[in-house]
Structure 1
Amino acid sequence: MKKLLLVCSFASGLFLTSNFVKAQQKIGHVNSDEIFDNLSETKAADASLNTFTKTKQAEIEKLITTYETKLKAGQEKEKTMTEANKEVLIKELTATQTELEALGKNIEAARVKAAQDISKKQAELFTPIQKKVAAMISAVAKEKGLAYVFDIAASQGNSNIAYMDGGEDITATVKSKLTTSPAKPAVK
C-alpha cells in the first residue's frame, strides 16, 4: 500500500511539474504597423506603387477624355440635323454611338486590368518586405525564448486579443535589428 501511495505521489508530482513547465511559456507582442512604417524599404515600395498607380490612372483618364471628346462631337452633329441631311447624319451618329460603346467597354476593361496590375505590383513590392519582417520577428522571438507572439497592429485586426496585461513587446528589438541589418536594394 505504501508503494502504491508512493507511486501515485510521484506520478502526480510529475504531472504537476509538467503543467508548471508548460505554464511558464513566455508570450510577447509586436506592432508590425510600427515596424513597417519605420522601414526605408516600405517607403520606397510605397513611392514606387504610387508612381505605378498614377501611370495607370493617366492611361484610363486618356481613354475617358477620348470618350468625352467623341461624345461632344456626336452631340454637336446632332444639333445640325435637318431634313436634308437627316439620313446621312443618322448613319454617322449610329457609327459614333457604336464607337462610344466600344470605348466604354475599353475603359471598363482598362479599369479592371489596372486594378489587377496594381494588386500584382503591390504583392511584388511588399511580399519580400513582409517575409523579411516575419523572419526577423521569428528570430527575435526565438532569441528571447518566446512561445507566442501576438501582432497588435491595427491593420492586422488586433481584435484577436481580448486582454493583454504585460507580455514582452519586441517591436523595438525587431525595428532595431532591421535597421541595423544590411539593406537590400529597393525593388523596382
Structure 2
Amino acid sequence: MKKLIKVALVVVCMVSMSSFANAQKIGYINTNDLIPNMPEYKTVTTQVDAYKKTFVDVLQNLSNELQTKGADYQKNQATMTDAQKTAKQAELNDLNTRANNYQNDAQQKVAQKGEELMKPLLDKAKAAITEVAKEKGYTYVVDSSTTTFIVAPPADDLLPAVKAKLGIAATSTAVGK
C-alpha cells in the first residue's frame, strides 16, 4: 500500500512538473527591429521632426541675436561707460539665460510630443506581440533590445510572426540602417 502511494505521488509530481514546464514557454522579440519597420513610424518621426523644427527656428533666432549683441558689445566696450557695460552685460546674460531655458523647455516638449505620438504605435505593436504570443502559446515574451541573451534559440524569436501580423514584409529593415 505504501509503495502504491509513493508511486502515485511520484507520478503526480512528474505530471505536474511536466505541465509546469510546458506552461512556461518563453519567447523574445527585438522591438528596435519591429517599431521602425511599422508603416506609421515614418509619419510619427516626420511629425516629431516638424514639431522640433519650430523650436529650432526660435533657438536659432535667439542664438543669432546673442551673437550680434555680443559682437556689438565686444566692438564698442572700449567707448562705453561702466554703467553701459554693466547694462549690456546684464542684457547679454539675460538673453543667454532665456536661450538656455527655452532650449531646456523645448527638449522637454519635443520628448513629450514624441511619446504622445508614439503611444498608439507602441500600443499597436504590443497588441500584435500579445496576439502572437497567445496564438503560439507563449507565457512570457522578453524584449531582447533591452536584454542581453547569452543563449536564445531562433525558433522562439517572435519578430517574424509579429511582422506578419502587422503586415510588414519579412525582408524589411529598420529605417536609417
User: TM-score scaled by structure 2?
Assistant: 0.86
Structure 2 match to 1:186: none
Q: Hey, what does 1:19 align to over in structure 2?
A: 17
| Larger CA Rg, structure 1 vs 2 | 1
Query: Gapped runs of 5+ residues in structure 2?
Result: 169-177
Amino acid at match of 1:9: V
Using the size of structure 1 for normalisation, the TM-score is 0.81
Residue 158 of structure 1 is aligned with which of 128, 132, 147? 147
Equivalence map 1:37-186=2 (5 Å): 37-79=36-78, 81=79, 89-153=81-145, 157-159=146-148, 161-179=149-167
Structure 2 CA distance for aligned equivalents of residues 148 and 74 of structure 1: 64
State the one-letter code of the partner of 2:59: I
SS in 2 for 1:158: coil
8 Å contact kept, 1:27–1:146: yes
Deviation at 1:78, TM superposition (A): 1.9
Measure how far apart 1:109 and its partner are.
0.6
- Identify the residue that residue 174 of structure 2 maps to in structure 1: none
- Secondary structure at the residue paired with 2:60? helix
8 Å CA contact retained: 1:27, 1:167: no
1:4 aligns with 2:5: no
**Structure 1 residue 166: Cα displacement:** 4.1
The more displaced of 166-175 and 127-136 is: 166-175
2:175 matched to which residue of 1? none
- How far apart are residue 116 of structure 1 and its match? 0.7
% identity of equivalent residues: 27
Q: RMSD value over aligned CA atoms? A: 1.7
